């Protein structure tokens, strides 16, 4: 079956997904022997020194011998000497991609029992449950625009929230944290810039049938962008009024916060997995690597591969939800024979509480000197 579907939205999904697959993994799967970030060119012109070079941060490659280069799709086309269509087919064979027949593929692959170890997908957009949910998709262009449109946190409410969670202004700026002051202003600008349909489908607005009525963040909020390979793929808002504290884009499955941290993490390093965004930022502010998984149920089996090469420390919140979080995720790793460490937190505390407390004490200490 052809991977290029009739639906242009689906095509965008698939290409977007493919381009997220780390280039070194694609090269590995193609059988290219990588040394560091270099390899002998598959065209055979290298005799002594490798001239094929990979840039994981941009997810591109370049051969300084023959001048070829490009993204992951170009790599497959050049290495297999095939056209675009065949290259897409290759990705479909080797990775689980978001297609209408996703579930069939998944079942087939599982029943052949070759799913494990075969597929490593940094899938941003998951298969959705119902038709209603299919109305929404992660739209990095709009999310990126929103983050640029909003300013860094200056309001006292937002600043207090950050410092209560152990996050300085510098930490916040580093992670692109923003504040959203006027929902109606932002929504009308968004509609002007991107059109009703696209704003609606980005999951950032309430409303029905493609018509965005109100922004999901209905009052002043602090916005946390999820950045993968330089693109904003998701935004969580922290509200301070109304019933919901956290509001996420509608109908879009939650990616890992700070996932791109893994790109710069050496094999064998320690990665800290916690439950909240502020926890991850607070841990990072101590110079440690951390990602946040927003709820155990959002942790996907295909993400395991991303962590296998690191020492894993899980820091669940000190409550019953934290217990479930640890149990669920540690079991998933156990199935893959991967041990994880756990840091137990005092009852009712999360990581950022403790780090904030520690920083306050440290500050007081400095004043006393």
- Residues in contact with Zn ion, total (CB under 5 A)? 5
d(CA 56, CA 73): 14
290-292 and 246-247 beta bridge pairing? unpaired
Q: Is 50 in the site for Zn ion (CB under 5 A)?
A: no
Q: Is 176 in the site for Zn ion (CB under 5 A)?
A: no
Give the binding range for Zn ion (CB under 5 A) out of 8-16, 17-25, 43-51, 348-356. 43-51
Q: Return the residues of window 227-286 that contact Zn ion according to CB under 5 A.
A: none
Give the binding range for Zn ion (CB under 5 A) out of 59-67, 142-150, 245-253, 327-335. 59-67
Write the DSSP symbol of residue 280. Answer: H
Non-local CB neighbours of 131 within 8 Å, separated by 6+ positions = none
Q: Which of 24, 41, 79, 180 binds Zn ion (CB under 5 A)?
A: 41
Q: Is 63 in the site for Zn ion (CB under 5 A)?
A: yes
Beta partners for residue 223, in sequence order? 178, 237
Residue pair 224/175 in contact by the 8 Å Cβ criterion: yes
Give the binding range for Zn ion (CB under 5 A) out of 66-74, 126-134, 216-224, 333-341. 66-74
Give the binding range for Zn ion (CB under 5 A) out of 42-50, 83-91, 237-245, 278-286. 42-50
C-alpha dihedral sign at 246, 249, 251, 255: negative
Q: Is 65 in the site for Zn ion (CB under 5 A)?
A: yes
Give the binding range for Zn ion (CB under 5 A) out of 19-27, 60-68, 134-142, 333-341. 60-68
Residue closer to Zn ion, measured from CB, 63 or 190: 63
Per-residue x/- track, 295-334, Zn ion (CB under 5 A): ----------------------------------------
Q: Is 66 in the site for Zn ion (CB under 5 A)?
A: yes
Give the binding range for Zn ion (CB under 5 A) out of 37-45, 82-90, 238-246, 278-286. 37-45
Q: Which of 29, 43, 338, 359 binds Zn ion (CB under 5 A)?
A: 43
Residue closer to Zn ion, measured from CB, 72 or 313: 72
d(CA 324, CA 51): 49
CB-based contacts of 335-339 (< 8 A; 24+ apart in sequence) = 336/116, 336/304, 336/308, 338/304, 338/307, 338/308, 338/312
Q: Containing H/E element for 368? A: helix 351-368
Q: Is 54 exposed, middle or buried (0-12, 13-18, 19+ CB in 10 A)?
A: buried
Residue closer to Zn ion, measured from CB, 63 or 259: 63
Residue closer to Zn ion, measured from CB, 32 or 147: 32
Residue closer to Zn ion, measured from CB, 80 or 343: 80
Nearest distance from C-beta of residue 82 to Zn ion, angstroms: 17
Residue closer to Zn ion, measured from CB, 39 or 313: 39
Residue pair 53/62 in contact by the 8 Å Cβ criterion: yes
d(CA 296, CA 324): 7
Residue closer to Zn ion, measured from CB, 41 or 96: 41
Residue pair 37/55 in contact by the 8 Å Cβ criterion: yes
Q: Which of 206, 205, 172 has its CA nearest to residue 284?
A: 172
Round the CA-based radius of gyration of the chain to a whole number and report it: 22
Nearest distance from C-beta of residue 172 to Zn ion, angstroms: 44
Cβ density class 222-231: b for 16+ within 10 Å, e for less? bbbbbbbbeb
Q: Containing H/E element for 144? A: helix 140-149
Residue closer to Zn ion, measured from CB, 65 or 276: 65
Q: Is 32 in the site for Zn ion (CB under 5 A)?
A: no
Residue closer to Zn ion, measured from CB, 67 or 268: 67
Residue closer to Zn ion, measured from CB, 78 or 258: 78
The CB density around residue 306, as the number of other CB atoms within 10 Å, is 18
Give the binding range for Zn ion (CB under 5 A) out of 36-44, 121-129, 193-201, 339-347. 36-44
* Interface residues toward Zn ion, by CB under 5 A: 41, 43, 63, 65-66
């Amino acid at each position: 079956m052809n991977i290029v579907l009739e639906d242009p939205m689906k095509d965008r999904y698939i290409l977007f997904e493919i381009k997220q697959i780390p280039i070194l993994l694609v090269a590995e799967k193609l059988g290219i022997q990588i040394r560091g970030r270099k390899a002998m060119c598959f065209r055979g012109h290298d005799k002594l020194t490798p001239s094929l070079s990979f840039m994981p941060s941009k997810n591109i490659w370049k051969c300084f011998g023959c001048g070829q280069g490009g993204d992951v799709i170009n790599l497959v086309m050049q290495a297999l000497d095939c056209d675009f269509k065949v290259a897409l087919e290759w990705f479909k064979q080797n990775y689980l991609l978001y297609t209408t027949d996703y579930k069939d593929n998944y079942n087939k692959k599982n029943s052949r029992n070759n799913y494990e170890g075969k597929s490593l997908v940094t899938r941003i957009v998951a298969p959705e449950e119902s038709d209603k949910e299919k109305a929404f998709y992660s739209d990095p262009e709009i999310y990126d625009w929103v983050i640029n449109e909003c300013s860094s946190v200056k309001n006292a409410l937002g600043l207090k929230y950050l410092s209560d969670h152990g996050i300085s202004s510098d930490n916040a700026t580093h992670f692109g944290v923003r504040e959203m002051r006027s929902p109606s202003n932002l929504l009308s600008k968004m509609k002007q810039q991107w059109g009703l349909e696209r704003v609606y489908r980005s999951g950032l607005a309430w409303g029905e049938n493609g018509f965005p009525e109100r922004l999901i963040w209905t009052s002043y909020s602090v916005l946390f962008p999820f950045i993968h390979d330089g693109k904003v793929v998701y935004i969580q808002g922290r509200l301070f009024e109304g019933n919901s504290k956290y509001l996420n884009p509608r109908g879009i499955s939650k990616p890992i916060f700070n996932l791109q941290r893994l790109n710069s993490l050496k094999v064998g390093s320690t990665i800290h997995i916690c439950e909240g965004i502020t926890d991850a930022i607070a841990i990072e502010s101590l110079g440690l690597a951390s990602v946040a998984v927003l709820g155990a149920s959002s942790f996907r089996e295909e993400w395991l591969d991303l962590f296998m090469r690191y020492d894993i420390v899980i820091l669940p919140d000190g409550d019953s939800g934290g217990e479930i979080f640890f149990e669920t995720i540690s079991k998933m790793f156990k199935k893959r024979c991967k041990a994880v460490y756990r840091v137990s937190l005092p009852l009712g505390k999360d990581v950022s509480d403790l780090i904030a407390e520690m920083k306050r004490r440290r500050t007081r200490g400095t004043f006393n000197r």
